Homo-oligomer: A and B are copies of this chain.
């Protein structure tokens, strides 16, 4: 079997020819004299028609085969499979690596495992098509985010992970022993992307952020991927919502077209969008909730989860859009860098994007005037000496600017309708688990 390897997807152009394929035994069906094997490689899946002895092959064995590509009979065509109109008649095969018998049936269409079992066996469960689908969608989201922003002249930079003491304070931060001194894991690239923006005007990053929240819920993991963008020379905060609107729609469109099979596995549909995503102020949203449901959130400082679900439902009914921007939060409720509305400084020009009842992103216009920024730092009772690099960026001239951040795992989870954010992280870390369940403290 010295013939050059053919990738599964390329067999489509090789009907009648002899090919060598390599891959894993995804499934097998034993029909006495014939054994049908689903062979999986990185490029796709194909049916092999093998002889009786191949029934001895184990699930997940890595094999190499030589055979002839032929068209299937009309009745045996599998419309679910990209290569469903062909199959390969095996002439020769050998095993490259024998697999142990999996502790559960990995060939089932639905894995039906409890989450701890899914994660305790992460290396094996990653081979399941429905698990792979999650990360196919995730990697499509990341690529779409980058491609869209590059197309708009945005510059990719690497935000740091290890950071000095956080000026904003906050206890939910991981401490690192840094040569006997204290350093921390970044909670957000916010200040660094603003620095990078002050030099490159339009920047983005795809970087890890860390949350030491001591919560075990379906929505909490400690290590997350943040998709961040920041842009200078805006006219208004609506330049940011316009940019984000276009970016998110591009990402959704990419997932819809490139992951149709994966979406189908989860019976998921891409969120509905309309030409221009509705934009409401917090006050307007609260009024609308009151008007439509009778429940009164007016005057609250933020939307609570019930408000988020209600406003999304209302907007969906009114406009058909699953997406909605909410802007104008109480200034003091948000970080020091969010721009207060000059006409009504009690409210700011921060903007969240909600989708199907959940917050997908936050962003908005930032304070870019140096004097105003120093003033905000003072009002927020922060120590300016802890953010000197950040302040320096604004000392040397930064025009009106803003940006937004999206959480990759949350987006993945929401698009596919997953029940737990851990499923949307290949190697999820939480309070109790880093790869495996952590031993009890002793």
Q: Which residues does A use to contact B, with CB under 8 Å?
A: 5, 7, 22-24, 41-43, 58, 60-62, 64, 96-100, 102, 121-124, 126-127, 132, 135-136, 138-139, 142-143, 150, 153-164, 174-181, 183, 185, 192, 195-196, 198-202, 207-208, 210, 212, 214, 222-223, 225, 232-233, 368-370, 388-390, 392-393, 395-400, 408, 425-427, 429, 431, 434-436, 438-439, 441
How many Å lie between the Cα of A159 and that of B200 in the bound state? 28
Contact B153 A426 (CB under 8 A): no
* 20 additional contacts (CB under 8 A) given A138-B158, A142-B156: A5-B233, A42-B201, A43-B153, A58-B397, A60-B397, A62-B398, A64-B233, A97-B369, A99-B395, A99-B396, A99-B397, A100-B396, A122-B389, A132-B199, A139-B155, A139-B157, A175-B176, A178-B222, A181-B438, A388-B436
Among B96, B124, B201, B441, the residue within 8 A (CB) of A400 is: B96
Which residue of chain B has its CB nearest to the CB of A175?
Answer: B177
**So how many copies of this chain end up in the complex?**
2
Give me 12 A-to-B residue pairs in the complex whose CB atoms sit less than 8 angstroms apart, sorted by A's number.
Answer: A42-B200, A99-B395, A122-B389, A123-B389, A124-B392, A126-B198, A132-B199, A139-B157, A158-B425, A161-B208, A176-B185, A389-B435
Q: How far is the CB of A348 from chain B (nearest CB, A)?
A: 19
Complex interface: chain B residues within 8 A of A41 (CB): 201, 233
Which residue of chain B has its CB nearest to the CB of A225?
Answer: B158
Complex interface: chain B residues within 8 A of A179 (CB): 212, 214, 431
Complex interface: chain B residues within 8 A of A22 (CB): 233, 399
Contact B123 A223 (CB under 8 A): no
Q: How far is the CB of A344 from chain B (nearest CB, A)?
A: 23
Contact A192 B162 (CB under 8 A): no
Complex interface: chain B residues within 8 A of A7 (CB): 153
Q: A62-B233, A100-B396, A174-B176 are in contact. Are A199 and B126 (CB under 8 A)?
A: yes
Contact A157 B174 (CB under 8 A): no
How many Å lie between the Cα of A159 and that of B232 in the bound state? 31
Q: A62-B399, A139-B155, A176-B174 are in contact. Are A427 and B222 (CB under 8 A)?
A: no
Complex interface: chain B residues within 8 A of A212 (CB): 179
How many Å lie between the Cα of A61 and that of B370 in the bound state? 12
How many Å lie between the Cα of A5 and that of B400 in the bound state? 14
